[in-house]
Amino acid sequence: MPDTILAVVEQREGKLNRVSWETITAGQAIATATGWPLEAAVVGGGSSIAAEVATKKVAKVYAIESPKLEPYTPDAFAAALKQFLTSKQPKLVLMPHTYQVRDFVPKLATAMGRTVISDCIGFKYEGGKLVFTRQMFQGKLAADVSFTSDAPWFVTFQNGAFRGDKAEAGSPPVEAVSLDIADGVIRNKPQEVFKEAKQAVDLTQAEIIVAVGRGIKEQKNIEIAKQLADALGGDLAASRPICDSGWLPMDRQIGSSGQTVAPKLYLALGISGAIQHIVGMKGSRAIIAVNKDSEAPIFEIADYAVVGNLFDIVPPLIEEVKKVKAGG
């Protein structure tokens, strides 16, 4: 059987997760490099999702359906995909590294005696060998990882690793695949998905964001970051540890669990640049980072880097900003 690539897109409650376009772009890039055909599959969601996926250039779209796929449970998704993959035998299975995929793909791979290389940011195809690049040690180092096992090979790609808008258009056929999930397989009983508390601020609309990380040291120090945000006419935000400590409410959190933003200016104060934070702000038009650790991963993506103590830098910065705004 020829080697094929299968991009498994994500739908939640009948809506296509837009990060799926990035998975398609990734699949198309790997298909071009290797010459392997690319197909796509969607698990659950109904025929309209499959139709949406069928506007992209893939050889075929499979619409995998089963009554027990809604609501999402890892047992149901792993069972359905295991059946499908066992019969289709793709070489490579691609998925976006979402919280839902993380919840079931290691289980699926293990059930098939296989492995997942997760949270990848790219791939290389050299001398007929496919390796996947991923960040390690919170972004300080990168690794090229290969499979030493049989197919199917499972890979998940990090949000933003590929451009969803670069997915080539096409009009592939859609094939409906009906699967049965036996009684007793599903053990979890999920309730409705909900949003916690009202969202007081929508950071996705902010043009300027001043974000604080652990470097702010104490809750009372957040005040100077707020003053800077006010002086700039921007919004205050934070990395997860600040919200975990209750120093700022959860709706100020930027990162994989919080908001994903792309403002004109993102000013990161005392933020080291852990991957879970970076995925939420790497699309910012301009990034200024202030951190006293010159090795902090945030500097990999900063446009302007200030290696120094934020407590020395922020107060004069506030003054200079105020001067300019007052017509100086």
Partner 1 sequence: MKQVPQKDAPLKLNETGTWIREDVSYEVNEPDAYALEEALRQREKHKGEVVVITSGPARAQQVLREALAKGADRAIHLEDDTFVGLDAFNTAKAFAAAIKDEQFDLIFTGLQSDDYGYAQTGVILAELLGWPHATIIMQIEKTDSGIRVKRELEAGFFQFVDMPTPAVLTIQSGINKLRYATLIGIKQAKNKPLKKVTLGDVQPAVGSNLQKIERLYVPQKTKKTEHIDGSSSEIAKKLVDKLRNELRVL
Segment 73-102, which members bind partner 1 (CB under 8 A)? Answer: 74-75, 78, 98-100, 102
Q: Which is nearer to partner 1, 62 or 266 (CB)?
A: 266
Beta carbons of 203 and 261 less than 8 angstroms apart: yes
Alpha carbons 121 and 156: distance in angstroms, whole number: 9
> Given the complex with partner 1, which of 61 and 209 has the nearer CB atom?
209
- Smaller CB separation from partner 1, 3 or 300: 300
Q: Give the shortest CB-49-to-partner 1 separation in angstroms.
A: 19
Q: Which of 47, 85, 37, 42 is nearest to 62 (CA)?
A: 42
- In whole angstroms, the minimum distance from the beta carbon of 291 to partner 1 comes to 11
Q: Which of 168, 180, 223, 293 binds partner 1 (CB under 8 A)?
A: 293
How far from 218 is each of 209, 241, 242, 255, 282, CA to CA, in Å?
A: 20, 12, 9, 21, 26
Among 1, 169, 184, 196, binds partner 1 (CB under 8 A): 196
Handedness of CA 211, 122, 62, 66 (dihedral sign): negative
Using CB under 8 A as the binding rule, whether residue 306 contacts partner 1 is answered as: yes
Between CA 210 and CA 232 the distance in angstroms is 9
First-to-last C-alpha distance (Å) of the chain: 71
Residues linked to residue 184 through DSSP beta bridges, in sequence order? none
Contact region with partner 1 (CB under 8 A), list: 36-44, 83-91, 132-140, 215-223: 132-140
Q: Using the rule CB under 8 A, which residue among 33, 51, 141, 176 binds partner 1?
A: 141
Go through 199-227 and write b for each residue having 16 or more CB atoms within 10 A of its CB, e for each that does not. eeeebeebebbbbbbbbbeeeebbebbeb
Q: Site for partner 1 (CB under 8 A): which residue of 87, 195, 200, 327?
A: 195
55/309 with CB nearer partner 1: 309
Cα separation, 166 vs 159, in Å, equals 14
Q: Is the dihedral of CA 281, 15, 155, 61 positive or negative?
A: negative
Q: In the complex with partner 1, which residue's Cβ is closer, 54 or 291? A: 291
Does 193 sit near partner 1 (CB under 8 A)? yes
103 binds partner 1 per the rule CB under 8 A = yes
170 binds partner 1 per the rule CB under 8 A: no
CB of 34 or CB of 276, closer to partner 1: 276
d(CA 246, CA 240): 10
- Output 37 or 283, the one with its CB closest to partner 1: 283
Q: What is the SS3 assignment for 123? A: strand
Cα 314 from Cα 278, distance rounded (Å): 22
Paired with 43 in beta bridges are 64
Q: How far is the CB of 179 from partner 1 (least distance, A)?
A: 19
Among 60, 138, 226, 283, binds partner 1 (CB under 8 A): 138
Instruction: List the x/- string, 227-266, binding to partner 1 by CB under 8 A.
Output: -----x-------xx-xxx----xx-x--xxxxx---xx-
CB of 110 to partner 1, least distance (A): 4
Among 272, 273, 278, 281, binds partner 1 (CB under 8 A): 272
In the set 21, 62, 147, 157, which binds partner 1 (CB under 8 A)? 147
Structural tokens at position 181? 């999930």
Tokens of 73: 């449970």
